[in-house]
Structure 1
Amino acid sequence: MKNKIDYYLPIIIKFVLGLLVFILQINLTGKGNLAPSTALDAVQNYVLGGIIGGVIYNENITILQFVMVLIVWTIIVLTLKFFKDHNRFIRNIIDGQPVTLIKNGKIRVEECLKHGISANDLMFKLRNKGIYEVAKVKSGILEQNGQLTVIEFSDKDHVRYPLISDGQLMLMYWNLLTKMKNG
């Protein structure tokens, strides 16, 4: 009986610690990690899951070593989030920018190729929005999370982008709106 306790107790402790750190990271970085909207959110979840999953069953890694790895990863994530939230240049590197793939009913092939979107992928995204003809699309914007925002020619409500975020003018959105307005 003692052997089983000696074997399972560190696994249980590591699992509980990993779960607590995961919950802590979600609460500190925002609920976006529950449904990742940026590459950083997804990477954070994958790496933390890999750390927890790869370590809890490894008897050679002590609980203290596991805690140190969790602390280092949490510091890295929080540091990246801080710089992303306070520096537009870093935000653009980490999250990217929205890209117009369809403009005035015409597919911008160069942009699709540049961002790895095949014709099948684009049409799939349009069909998911209930659109079966590219000619009906005034603007198709590939968002940072891979979703396609579609503005049809008949749409009364247009997509709204924040022109000011965290006290800074968002030039990428200003330029995007200017391009859309000028046709």
Structure 2
Amino acid sequence: MWHELILDAHSIYRLFIGIVIISAHLTLTKKQSLTHFNSIDFIGNFILGGIIGGIIYNQSVSTFSYVVLLLATLGMIRLFNFIASRFMPARQIVKGKAVTIINHGQFVIDSLDDASSNFDIINFTEELRSRGIFSVEDVEFAQYGSNGSLTVVKKGDGSLSYVLVSKGQVVQDQLEASGQSEEWLTRELEQQGIKLEDIFFAELEGREKIYIVMNDLTTHTFTFSLESSEKGGE
């Protein structure tokens, strides 16, 4: 009986350690909501759950080895998330790609034909109704974000902004959704004497204005001719 109580106390102690370590990790990474999780976080949570569930009753594995394994797993999760945040191609693999369904009042055929998007027109119209939009004809812009959330702009509600650059890297799906090209963006930046690698954040506001925050936190705002941009994209 005493032996069983000691084993139970030891298992509870290990469970407590696991909860403390994971809670500290979630607090430090500010990922305390499922909406903040990406595929790496979900996979990591499954692995962490398997480690805790498989080891707390296994007396052949020392508590030190158990803690090291938990910390190593958390370290790998942090490393993969860091790579995804620094390299845009890796980000799109890990966090997914935004899918534009309607742009300028027209369905985007490429998105509808893309099998990987799993677009369902019935679900789409139901989501529109839940937002008080009862006709697709009233939609100017609709896009499923990388986290699965739907962004909708009704006709007459104004223009949507697009993130063109993040930490010196072109956000390709947002650039495509804006209807512009990377060649156009490069040309506009060159005309302003701005280097891509010096940009912390660049946003296209509407269709004729770009707002830029540099790495040194200085800002630039400039407009461009919509006609010239369309000619440049031809």
Name the TM-score, length of structure 1 as normaliser: 0.80
Query: 1:35 — aligned with what?
Result: 34
Aligned to 2:113: 110
Distance 2:19 2:172 in 1: 39
Which residue is equivalent to 2:224?
none
Instruction: Name 1:94's counterpart in structure 2.
Output: 94
Shift of 1:163: 2.7
Q: Is the 8 A contact 1:137 1:151 kept in 2?
A: yes
- What SS does structure 2 have at the residue aligned with 1:100? strand
Change (3 A) 1:33 1:165: farther
Partner in structure 1 of residue 164 of structure 2: 163
**Structure 1 or 2: larger helix share?**
1
- Superposition deviation, residue 142 in structure 1: 1.0
1:7-50: CA deviation from partner (whole Å, max 9, x where unpaired): 2222212211111221232134x223523343233333333334
Greater alpha carbon shift after TM alignment, 130-139 vs 31-40:
31-40
* Alpha carbons of structure 1 residues 3 and 98: separation in structure 2 relative to 1, 3 Å: same
Question: Unaligned 5+ residue runs, structure 1?
Answer: none
Is the 8 Å Cα contact of residues 102 and 137 (structure 1) preserved in structure 2? yes
Q: Which runs of 5+ in 2 are unaligned?
A: 181-205, 208-229
Name 2:131's counterpart in structure 1: 129
What is the aligned-residue identity percentage? 24
Residues 80 and 43 of structure 1: is their aligned pair in 2 closer, same or farther, counting only changes over 3 Å?
same
**Matches of 2:166 and 2:131, distance apart in 1:** 28
Q: Distance in 2 between matches of 1:171 and 1:165?
A: 10
Give per-residue Cα distances to partners, 1:81-106, cap 9 Å, x unaligned. 12112212211221122111223153
Q: Which has the larger radius of gyration?
A: 2
SS at match of 1:32: coil
> RMSD in angstroms over aligned alpha carbons?
2.7
Q: Which amino acid aligns with 1:161?
A: Y
- Go from structure 1 to structure 2 and tell me whether the alpha carbon gap of 1:116 and 1:51 turns closer, same or farther (over 3 Å shift): farther
Shift of 1:168: 3.0
CA distance in 1, matches of 2:124, 2:89: 28
TM-score, normalised relative to structure 2: 0.64
2: CA distance, partners of 1:57 / 1:159: 54
> 1:25 is paired with a residue of what secondary structure?
helix
Structure 1 letter corresponding to 2:34: A
How many angstroms does 1:141 deviate by? 0.6
Deviations 1:67-87 (A, max 9, x none): 232122112101101211221
Give 1:74-89 correspondences, 5 Å limit: 74-89=74-89
User: Helix, strand or coil for the counterpart of 1:162?
Assistant: strand
Equivalent in the alignment of 2:149 = 147
CA shift in 2, pair 1:128/1:40, >3 Å: farther
Aligned counterparts of 2:108 and 2:85: Cα–Cα separation in 1: 33
